[in-house]
Chains A and B, each alone.
Chain A
């Protein structure tokens, strides 16, 4: 995180020793990050149109431990082989773009800070994927949610209806908003949260108004959030959240010993409820 501990200016006189002005710095969360990923075709579909990507780097230097993580889930659509190709190409293209423009320059730079704002790099990754899909899979499209983890902060890019949840203090909070008609009705107060949850299983939830590879220009949601020690992240396709209720996802997460156990149990839960869609989930958690 580029902490250069050097004196910025000379000290004029021996500094008086003041009472400590602040408490000692808290331990950095995510000093050791664990994650796991699972993707399953489900019980009904004949193809898995989901694609996912997970990558984590720990770099330990004299300045401390730096953690960088990149997590992506994409749910393709378009029928035949288009959905599969769309989600795979989107993840590959966006992943390559971010590794090339954010991660590699950091390893080669002295300041270890990226030249362009992270959100611009994420937006660029989306545009690269969007363009590639329009050229190579014009009949296909995909949802895409990208989470870049840098120390205590996550950077999120989002189009479609995959979801990113933050597990904090025993609650599961949705950080992304579904770009679906149903969720839009919720945002406008036409339906309340209980109805929305009840309608998670409704077929109408599948109608999206935004996806990578569809009509230009592609508009995406960008956000960034500070993380606290103990936070967990769940990134999943609608094959999970459309099948397993949020309360059940939460209790599975709380009971699982490791992210791998959590992923396994979440996929099993979706399949136990019929597994109507492909299920992809990434769970990121600090070491206990």
Chain B
């Protein structure tokens, strides 16, 4: 396995100084200078003294042999001679000619055609950034040609095995030449001890000792990715090219070229190009000007446009629908700014009843047993019969109730703009306790064990004891907390207007991690597996690793995302103030479909039995088909 060993640096240095300029090797090759060193080898420029009347220069590659048993050494040398003989039989303009090979002391030597030029790694470093697409494609076509030549040798295909920028030279005429056929590897000893670095260009199967023509195609893909992105794969986790989309690093790369390279980099060998010739044919149409392939030659890369989504049904209210739907017993409940709580049939949207309050309704209704509990901007929390909408009880507060109630242990917990958190009996509406904060409480409480966690616009997240409302801990965020906490793996995860999403240990209130968006986070997080999803006023829906808060992906909408995402199956749904409802692949963030309403969407979607329910400020409630 190719490795870059930290301790090998000293070996490189000693290899580089083994032969001095002027010294004559093998009574024939006069060393002129050191061309380069790498690993356990060095390359010198030498003059062939067998041609006394002309200056015939050559390259001498010296390979230091790692100490080993005599028998192993004999086998290695035999292999070396066989490989050298094989290469000496090859004739191709992109392969340097081998003139001679021999062993001396603990070194083996290859005498090769001297290539005047520069390797691509040096070129990349000198250029200091991604190389232009047109040049890279031209080289890639030439590399495919020589790979095709190697792969079609008889009786056995020859696999180059070590395609990387430093092994591709650009000669004085601007053509590519492959150097270093990996012969040096024959002599590599067993590496011991912990070391740093993996080769970065080799395909997964090569580490299991499998090297096929498809392995070279992968390595060529990796090389091209490095040249065009400037992103060195030896410095990244192995096999992670797909996490570094080329065009993200270099937008001048055409989508067609990116598609070709990503296919070469397919993790499964069978998904790559079958032959180097096939890859060459895919590259040829791109060899013209950057980003302008000839559409007549290049097969269209199908970029799926999202299919049109038809609502299952819609329902029109008298005002904006900011509230989020809930479904129980086949009935959908949702509040509206026209003061009403609506009950609709979930399968058809058919109107069943409405219950008028004295103010607009922004909160989410909560079905519980035979009741539906909802807060109103008129300052009260209501309980009505789910079957008829008849009022059962009403609990008044001194401020608007935008917080949605959480029912636990037969009590409804909710907040009010009067800055209190309330616990009332769900059956009779009788107060159990109220706890003061210093700002409006629009966040909806989360319940964990015997604890209630809720945010306030005073900037604190409060953990209150369920039975009495006494404070267990509180944590100060830099801004108001309108978002509702999600209890996830022993953490309370909640957004703040200070732009952070916080993960707090529910037992201690200690912050575990935080994630910074560009604008306030009003949206409430949702979790699935090891991923947390949350929207921000910066327009993005974020997917974060729940253990660390690290960004997995983000999806940019055209407006603020104050709607709270819903995850179902392998899809995540969210609304945006750009008027759209989005359905994204939960794993990748890729758009599955979007549905455009006629007004901003601040309502949060509910996924239930194959349908996505959501409200819009265009006065409508929509039922959309869920993905898959």
Q: Does A214 contact B (CB under 8 A)?
A: yes
Least distance between A243 CB and chain B CB atoms (Å): 13
- Pick from A2, A25, A184, A207 the residue with the most CB of B within 10 Å: A207
- A238 located at the interface, meaning its Cβ lies under 8 Å from any Cβ of chain B in the complex: yes
Inter-subunit contact A77/B510 (CB<8 Å): no
Q: Which of A140, A143, A226 has the most CB of B within 10 A?
A: A226
CB distance from B72 to the nearest CB of A (A): 15
Choose, from B1-9, B22-30, B157-165, B171-179, the stretch at the interface: B1-9
- How far apart are the CA atoms of A21 and B452 in the complex, in Å? 12
Which of B6, B204, B432, B472 gathers the greatest number of chain A CB atoms within 10 Å?
B6
Q: Is A60 positioned at the interface, with any CB of B under 8 Å from its CB?
A: no
The A-contacting residues of B in range 224-261, CB under 8 angstroms, are 235-239
A120 interfacial by beta-carbon distance below 8 Å: yes
Query: Does the CB pair A117–B473 fall under 8 Å?
Result: no
A108 located at the interface, meaning its Cβ lies under 8 Å from any Cβ of chain B in the complex: no
Pick the contact of B507: A1, A20, A119 (CB < 8 A): A1
Q: Tell me the nearest residue of chain B to A239, going by C-beta.
A: B194
| B residues in contact with A1, CB < 8 Å | 473, 507-510
Of the listed stretches B104-112, B546-554, B611-619, name the one at the interface; the rest are far from the partner chain.
B546-554
Of the candidates A15, A160, A184, A207, the one whose C-beta lies within 8 Å of that of B1 is A207
Q: Which residue of chain B lies nearest to A190 when distances are taken between CB atoms in the complex?
A: B204
Contact-size category for A: 35 or more
Interface bin, chain B: 35 or more
Residues of B within 8 A of A277 (CB): 193-194
Residues in B1-57 with C-beta less than 8 Å from chain A:
1, 3, 6-7, 9-10
A203/B192 in contact, CB under 8 A: yes
In the bound complex, residues from chain B placing their C-beta under 8 Å from that of A153 are 490, 505, 507-508, 510, 512
Stretch of A4-12, A32-40, A165-173, A258-266 on the interface side: A4-12
- Most A CB contacts (10 A, CB to CB) among B192, B198, B464 go to B198
CA distance A186 to B65 in the complex (A): 32
Q: Report chain A residues within 8 Å CB of B430.
A: 16
Residue B196 interfacial (CB < 8 Å): yes
CB-CB contacts of B193-208 with A at 8 A, as 1s and 0s?
Answer: 1111110000011011
Asked if B131 is at the interface of the complex by the 8 Å CB criterion, the answer is: no
Chain A positions near chain B (C-beta within 8 angstroms) = 1-13, 15-16, 18, 20-22, 25, 75, 77-80, 82, 113-114, 116-120, 139-141, 143, 150-153, 155, 160-161, 179, 181-182, 184-185, 188, 190-191, 203-204, 206-211, 214-215, 221-226, 238, 277
Q: Which residues of B contact A (CB under 8 A)?
A: 1, 3, 6-7, 9-10, 190-198, 204-205, 207-208, 235-239, 267, 408-409, 411, 420-421, 430-437, 449-450, 462, 464, 466-475, 489-491, 502-503, 505, 507-514, 547-550
Going nearest first, the 3 A-B pairs with the smallest beta carbon separation are A9-B436, A79-B7, A226-B490
Q: A78-B6, A153-B510 are in contact. List 13 more A-B contacts (CB 8 A).
A: A6-B471, A7-B470, A16-B432, A25-B450, A117-B511, A141-B6, A150-B508, A161-B194, A181-B1, A207-B191, A209-B196, A224-B513, A277-B194
Provide 26 A-B residue pairs closer than 8 Å at the C-beta atoms, listed in order of the A residue.
A2-B473, A2-B510, A4-B471, A8-B437, A16-B432, A21-B408, A21-B467, A22-B449, A77-B194, A78-B6, A79-B10, A113-B473, A119-B513, A139-B6, A153-B490, A153-B505, A185-B238, A203-B190, A207-B191, A210-B237, A211-B196, A215-B235, A222-B549, A224-B505, A224-B513, A224-B547
